[in-house]
Chains A and B, each alone.
Chain A
Amino acid sequence: MSKKVNVLVLRAAGINCDEEVMHCWKLVGASPKLVHVNQLTEHPELLDEMSIITIPGGFSYGDDIGAGQILAQRLLLSVAEPMRAFVARGGGVLGICNGFQVLVKMGLLPGGDAGRDQVTVTYNDSARFEARWVKLEVCTDKCPFLLPGTFLEMPVEHAEGRVVTASDETAKQLLAEGRVAVRYVDESGGYESYPQNPNGSTLGIAGLCDDTGRVFGLMPHPDRHIAHTNHPQWTRRACNGSPDGITVFENAVRFWGAQASILT
């Protein structure tokens, strides 16, 4: 039997999806703890007992400069090292929407050689906020939050979700290295047609992971497909198994629950 997985759910001014993310982790049997960013910067040792850090969605500090920018700076100034050490010893990081933007702007995603100046998340091609459901193709086999070869449905809700790389080569390399975790996909298997790709992301990139696969972030919201009645077509289809969003949390609990005690 696996051990209880401790999850730190980060809170900061403007983060607004913490309640549903807490619910998701509880639903899959993890033990989540809601921690304000100030608490974390004062007590980075809080990470010692955690298996996973989640940065939920929202508009941290109003996204007043660029999405996630201020929170990213705040974390870089105060807990960059403890967070890197946490990942190095086997911890997982999940960034959803604004949390993904924060991870990219911190340089934790896609990580490795591709630093802050290689990949960013910026304004949608449409220049406005858009809410719609999308279909995602899992295209990595290294990310413990995802099952390779599967498809997931969940909503996107953002104005700044377009993944842009410094060059086409960067994007292709990320794909080749399995660091493109999920891509928007349309009915015919294409990745770049609007509105299935809602923001104009290069190669339809919807989410990235680092080279360990354990740091994972995505623009779409698994935390909003947590009941069958969340799906826009639930009134016209049969619903079996876990809702797609919940599987992301289940996969993580299965993986880290089996990681004996590498963290403690």
Chain B
Amino acid sequence: MPENNLELQRFWHVQVLPRSAKLDGHGRDVLADIRHVGLEHIEGVRSSKLYLFDGRLSEQHVTMLAERLLADPVAETFVCRRGLSSREGESDAIEVQRLPGVMNPVAMSVMEASLAILEKDAPDATIAQVQTARRYEITGARSADELEQIAGSVLANSCIETWYVHGHGRCDDIPGEFPIPPTRPFELRSVAIRSLDDDGLTKLSREGHLFLSLEEMQTIQAYYSKLERDPTDLELETLAQTWSEHCVHKTLKAAIDYTGADFGTGGDVNVRFDNLLKETIVHATQTLDRDWCLSVFVDNAGIIALDDEYAVAFKVETHNHPSAIEPYGGAATGIGGCIRDIMGCGLGAKPIASTDIFCVASPDFDADRLPEGVLHPRRVLKGVVGGVRDYGNRMGIPTVNGAIHFDDRYLGNPLVFCGSVGLLPRNRIEKKSYPGDYVVVVGGRTGRDGIHGATFSSAELTDTHADEFSHAVQIGNAVEEKKVLDAMLIARDHQSGCLYSSVTDCGAGGLSSAVGEMAEMLGADIELEKVPLKYAGLRYDEIWISEAQERMVFSVPPTNLDAFLAVFAAEEVEATVIGRFTDDRQLCVKYQGNVVAQLDMGFLHDGLPKTVRTATWQPPEKPEPQALACADVRSLGSLPFADRLLAELSELNTASKEWVIRQYDHEVQGRSVIKPLAGPCSGPSDAAVIRPRYDRDTGVAVGCGLCLEWSDRDPYWMAILGVDEALRNVICVGADPERTAILDNFCWPKVDSPESLGALVRACKGATDAAIAFGLPFISGKDSLNNEFAMSEAESARTGLPRQIAIPNTLLISAMSVVRDVSRCVSMDLKSRGSVLVVASAPVTEVGLEKAMAHHRKVSELVTSGKVLAAHDVSDGGLAVAVAEMCIASNLGVSLDVSSDAYSHDLFADVPTTYVLEMSREDAKSSGFPVIGEVTEDSKLTMSLNGGQTSDVGVDELAKAWRTPLANGGWRS
């Protein structure tokens, strides 16, 4: 061994490369993406991984780490070099690194694993810091500008990453050392709010990213004037977090005077709501008063009974704004946060299933018309799918149900709904902190990531948001959250009883919200310097409001503290006492002995001024097509039946989502019963069923409903039809409507106009009327307002898009039902030749809510009786598409003969409260529902038209039309 191999040096990097082009799948994937942004002449991409070390290491040490840890001996090769960068070779290259301070779980793992090896086999070596990077060698680029374009639009996201380009005369300097985070001495800051006029208050609210209204700012001003002091920055931040739309849902809880169209009966009304939410959604649940609803609207999730011993919890959250500017990280932390809600529900539930629904613009959107600050919908879709996939899969939670809706009004503000279902013992639902309990923060360390997420989500998006709010983006680390879950369940089920008295997750607003909520009725003393940090240099206010992921807050009685800490230590999860709960209803936050906030819980939680707002709504004169409606919505009415059917199956909203579904692990935990894809040929299931307990046959069905097509016509009906669709979906798989609970997620544009607020009132009322009539209690819900994108005049002129793009009013209804016996569940694929199809239709829009419910109940009884071989609901694309999907799933044919007596609607119309059922001829007859077709030997869908003509189309052709549009994530070549 030459002498210099043993010489200790500070900086090193290891480049790991796939051994052959055949093994460089990532490089191929990136090349495809580059070509799809219009650079079709790019010839090749070679990807490699870089590991950068700062420490005291010799070449021998680094080589040992590369051989044993970093490079696969069969599939990869490696090169070790001194320094943090290398510019060897002539090829064009782009190196992508994380920005300083951005979470990097891989680097943390490499550090830990490297230290373990060195400790045993090279005790003289040390490592102080590790970073990772990616390097892409590009062939075929024509200029440095093209390389820059590739970096910015394919390889990296500037809000979390930076890149260095080499080639065509450009040679960016890669830093030779790791950046040192700034350290700042403690300085208590107060905000001179008492001396501000209204303009000053408004400016402070916007520029301080508080996003409070003038009235709210005035309330704070008056409060501190009375106290005869100014608030500290921390107090003001805490108030802004706690009073944010995101945390307190002040619009839905506001008093509202509504004038406008009546709810379902015609004519105008004038209604006063003192608290919209309480008098609609919550009122429905109270009216229904089901004994199997165990916890509603009070905890992080709604909880219903599964059986005598266990309960299931369900929560759906949105993570829209973070996903708009960093789709992968935004969606990952969206699902991560929702899972934490389930973990922090009751005394902790085990997540057993996830759901995800995305609303995005068309993947075909013209890239040249993309406004500044907006990511292309393809990139958004690929990113959000990747985020949900990597977080859910790594946590070991199956993603079982979802949907994707396309509408170009989601261009600047996509919607990402993430749901989580959890299982917990019924005796672990009640929780309560006591004075004297320790406040213990567990899990990931706190960093500067995710500052102002709660207030950010309560503002509209603009073209500068990616820069202004890059600090609001969080990067998830699913394995950390899994460790927290493992440790928590051990502490929950400890032999000496649950070791903690309460728990909640650290989500939006960070410690500020988590501690503020838990201590609402008690008070707490917090010492911020005890919070473990990712790196030095955080200010006290950053520690308090950081939304760093994978953290939870526990309330631990003094007698259990040692046992609690021991459990977490054994699981290698950091758990730190940061304070105690008190009984004075004061929130006292200290940093290094200095009081940095002293807030009265009464003012914090009840001081928000109550507003009275006016709302109005009138039906649009004639529902006009929206300027930004999805590019894919075409007039198909004039086509012959077979062509029309093929075109409808190719609509993005209808087309197969298999490309997405197969990236999600939907089998982990071994609980799956009805999967997202049904039949031998992967048709679209209506809902998912899982079996929560391995030793029982009780199941849980999960489905959803979202009726965008009614959004512009009447939000009242959008809500009713959303409930109708969610219910149909779970009934199709065999769920019991009497044991079905629902969730609401409102995503609205700004509600500062009476019209927009009126639309919200109508949706709340519709959801309530449907819930009461159908007997479906709401158990949890969430709203996300201000979903708009604003661009400059110049951008508007350049792109031809309106300056302000508001999303369509969007209401997602999620349903969760108990299934008595999973072995009686039904899937949507056709089962046997010779059986018949019946249509069971009683549209709620025609027959009214009560008759519609009787109809749902009748269908449900048929399905659970075992007489229904296959069931599918009629939605996008109507009866024709529903039947076609049943054919596609099974590769069986159907001969359809639909008389207008049997079914008077357009065959392609989305008709509510309508099902297609496959039954034996005898059972069909006794069901009373009209027969519309027969399952046949040949794989053809044959349609008898009026006048005896027939039209037929092969099932393989149908399948192709349905599968192609999104076969590779919406890339059309």
Contact = CB atoms under 8 A, between A and B. Distances in A.
B663 interface: yes
Contacts of B669: 17, 19-20
Contact of A227 (B478, B691, B829): B691
Interface of chain A: mostly helix, strand, loop or mixed? mixed
A20 B68 CA distance: 31
Interface in A230-246: 230, 232-233, 235-236, 245
A245 B361 CA distance: 42
A84 interface: no
Interface stretch (A2-10, A120-128, A247-255): A120-128
Nearest to B693: A23
Given A13-B482, A17-B396, A62-B479, A131 B75 contact: no
Nearest to A11: B486
Interface residues of B, number: 65
A232 B73 CA distance: 37
B571 A36 contact: yes
A236 B665 contact: no
Interface residues of A, number: 60
B113 interface: yes
Contacts of A70: 69, 109, 112-113
A106 B673 CA distance: 35
A128 B73 contact: no
Interface string B660-671: 011111111110
Interface string B569-581: 0111000000000
Contact of A229 (B108, B663, B823): B823
Contacts of B23: 122-123, 164
B74 A120 contact: yes
A37 B74 CA distance: 27
B393 A23 contact: no
Nearest to B120: A77
A2 B822 CA distance: 34
A151 interface: no
Contact of B482 (A14, A155, A165, A235): A14
B394 A62 contact: yes
B582 interface: no
A217 interface: no
A164 B680 contact: no
A221 B671 CA distance: 13
A14 B74 contact: no
B663 A131 contact: yes
B395 interface: yes
Contacts of A235: 674, 825-827, 829, 831
Contact of B668 (A11, A122, A224): A224
B665 A157 contact: yes
Interface in A168-207: none
A73 B486 CA distance: 22
Given A70-B113, A165-B74, A224-B672, A233 B393 contact: no
Interface centre among A70, A117, A224, A228 (most CB of B within 10 A): A224
B679 interface: yes
Given A38-B570, A61-B109, A157-B393, A117 B691 contact: no
A63 B69 CA distance: 12
Given A62-B105, A77-B116, A235-B825, A13 B68 contact: no
A212 interface: no
A127 B29 CA distance: 7
Contact of A13 (B483, B680, B822, B890): B483
Pick from A27, A57, A123, A226 the residue with the most CB of B within 10 Å: A123
Interface string B15-47: 000000001011011000000000000000000
Contacts of A16: 394-396, 482, 668
B171 interface: no
B117 interface: yes
A52 interface: no
B675 interface: yes
Given A16-B395, A61-B479, A62-B106, A117 B25 contact: no
A64 B113 CA distance: 10
A89 interface: no
B482 A132 contact: no
A66 interface: yes
Interface in B809-826: 822-823, 825-826
A116 B478 CA distance: 29
A258 interface: no
Given A157-B393, A232-B675, A20 B670 contact: yes
A64 B109 contact: yes
B389 interface: yes
Contacts of A73: 68-69, 113, 116-117
Nearest to B572: A13
Contacts of A27: 694
Interface string A16-53: 11011001000100000000101000000000000000
A19 B482 CA distance: 13
Contacts of A229: 673, 691, 822-823, 825
Given A129-B390, A164-B23, A226-B670, 11 more contacts: A16-B394, A62-B105, A70-B109, A123-B25, A126-B25, A129-B389, A131-B664, A165-B74, A227-B694, A229-B673, A235-B827
18 contacts: A20-B694, A59-B394, A59-B478, A59-B479, A65-B69, A65-B109, A77-B120, A120-B75, A123-B26, A129-B390, A129-B663, A157-B665, A164-B74, A164-B75, A226-B694, A232-B675, A235-B674, A235-B829
Closest 5 CB pairs of A and B: A16-B396, A127-B25, A64-B109, A120-B74, A20-B670
Interface of B: 23, 25-26, 28-29, 68-70, 72-75, 105-106, 108-110, 112-113, 116-117, 120, 389-390, 393-396, 477-479, 482-483, 486, 570-572, 661-670, 672-675, 677-680, 691, 694, 822-823, 825-827, 829, 831, 890
